[in-house]
Amino acid sequence: MKESLRSQVPPFYVMEVMKAAALREAEGGDVLHLEVGQPMTPAPSRVLEAARKGLIEDRLGYTAATGLGALRERIGRFYQDRYGLDVSPDRVVMTIGASAGFVLACLALFDPGDRVAMTVPGYSAYRNVLSALGLELVEVRVDAGTRFVPSTERLEMAGPLDGLVVASPSNPTGVTLTPEELNSVVEFCENSGTVLISDEIYHGIHYGRRASSALEFSDAPVVVQSFSKYFSMTGWRLGWLVVPPELFRPVERLSQNLFIAPPTVSQLGALEAFDCTAELDAIVTAYAESRDVLVAGLAEAGISRIAPPDGAFYVYADISHLGLDSPSLCARWLKEIGVAVTPGIDFDPDQGDRWVRFSYSESTDDIAEAVRRLKKWSALR
């Protein structure tokens, strides 16, 4: 059977690591999961209760393709409360996770052959989606010299662009753009006629100053958001877009045809999520403790060259001095000490063999035990 060209994208390697870890567990081995980026806790209690009520009392039929009006209005109030922004519900589109939101945005904005840039290292699924949609991927390398954020100079070196994808906080680096850095990106896009897609799915998970939204500097960016990370609703598969008014109808038409509607029970639960900040912020406090344990422990294991992890729940670390490429090293760690970590080739096809991504979204006890094993492994090499 013939395979389409668009299907021949690389695998999402973190899912491959998860598969290998599950096989080890099925064979009776233990695994400490530092490979996957998902919250360690279930959804907040009020979300769970609202969903239970919906399962019993609601028909759970289709909603509008753009989602429940009440939820879109609540998201508008969220932007007022958190960022001081006036975001009309008529600019909000509920989506089946941020992943579907990203696909909808790209389909509404770009045609095959359009040049769309994203940072490298960067989220591999975005790269593969752009490729599958027939867009020309333009890589903008970020590194310690740019604080792992896209500098104006490197953006200008990319040549004419139709679009730019920027994530803050970033996966895999955990780096958050400062307000000044994000404003520079927004200004670059406005001056060059480039559409900015701002991935803000890790907002709320920060250690220090909160992350800025691109909407604080302009109404032009398209924002991709999700209930998966801060709101601890990964498996509920619910996210949203904030789009300029002229893009709402194109996105709505695409959503009607591609997805019909977001999951109704997830939307009913999400109506309560914004009133659970005390519960959710306590989880972020636990992430901060885990981050400190991981960063200190990695340094003691001889892994100290990392991107500055000031948001999300990742540490992106240079392991080139250990003498193994990242896929080989991650395979050995899983086999020999039961620690699952994602190789950097998932995020950087060219230089990712020198890097790995650690997720510290599991319990602090699990992170501490993983660090203990990594230090022992390093000492015995």
Per-residue pLDDT tens digits for 101-127: 999 999 999 999 999 999 999 999 999
pLDDT at 380: 80
Q: Across residues 309-333, what is the average pLDDT?
A: 96
Q: Residue 312: which of 202, 232, 207 has the closest Cα? A: 202
Q: Across residues 1-8, what is the average pLDDT?
A: 86
Question: pTM, whole model, 2 decimals?
Answer: 0.95
Check pLDDT > 80 for residue 11: no
Check pLDDT > 90 for residue 196: yes
Check pLDDT > 80 for residue 342: yes
Task: Supply 366's token pair.
Answer: 């699990």
Distance CA 288, CA 350 (A): 31
Please enumerate in sequence order all residues whose Cβ is within 8 A of that of 4, keeping only pairs 6 or more positions apart, or say none. none
pLDDT at 8: 84
Distance CA 187, CA 227 (A): 28
3-state secondary structure of 163: strand
Distance CA 233, CA 255 (A): 21
Number of other residues whose CB lies within 10 A of the CB of residue 299: 15
pLDDT at 7: 83
Please enumerate in sequence order all residues whose Cβ is within 8 A of that of 352, keeping only pairs 6 or more positions apart, or say none. 121, 326, 343, 344, 345, 346
Band (pLDDT 50/70/90 cuts) for residue 5 is confident
Distance CA 331, CA 342 (A): 9
pLDDT at 228: 98
Check pLDDT > 90 for residue 185: yes
Tell me the percentage of the chain whose pLDDT exceeds 70.
Answer: 100
3-state secondary structure of 38: coil
pLDDT at 10: 80
Q: Across residues 193-214, what is the average pLDDT?
A: 97
Band (pLDDT 50/70/90 cuts) for residue 198 is very high
pLDDT at 139: 97
pLDDT at 40: 87
Q: Across residues 181-185, what is the average pLDDT?
A: 98
Amino acid at 76: G
Check pLDDT > 90 for residue 167: yes
Task: Supply 34's token pair.
Answer: 């530092």
Check pLDDT > 90 for residue 304: yes
Q: Across residues 19-33, what is the average pLDDT?
A: 93
Residue 271 phi, psi (nearest 5):
-55, -25
Please enumerate in sequence order all residues whose Cβ is within 8 A of that of 222, keeping only pairs 6 or more positions apart, or say none. 105, 109, 195, 196, 197, 198, 241, 242, 243, 244, 247
Q: Across residues 254-267, what is the average pLDDT?
A: 98
Q: Across residues 141-164, what is the average pLDDT?
A: 96
Q: What is the mean pLDDT of the chain?
A: 96
Q: Residue 146: which of 170, 125, 123 has the closest Cα? A: 170
Check pLDDT > 90 for residue 238: yes
Check pLDDT > 90 for residue 16: no
Chain center to CA of 147: 19
pLDDT at 234: 96
Bridge partners (DSSP) of residue 141 are 120
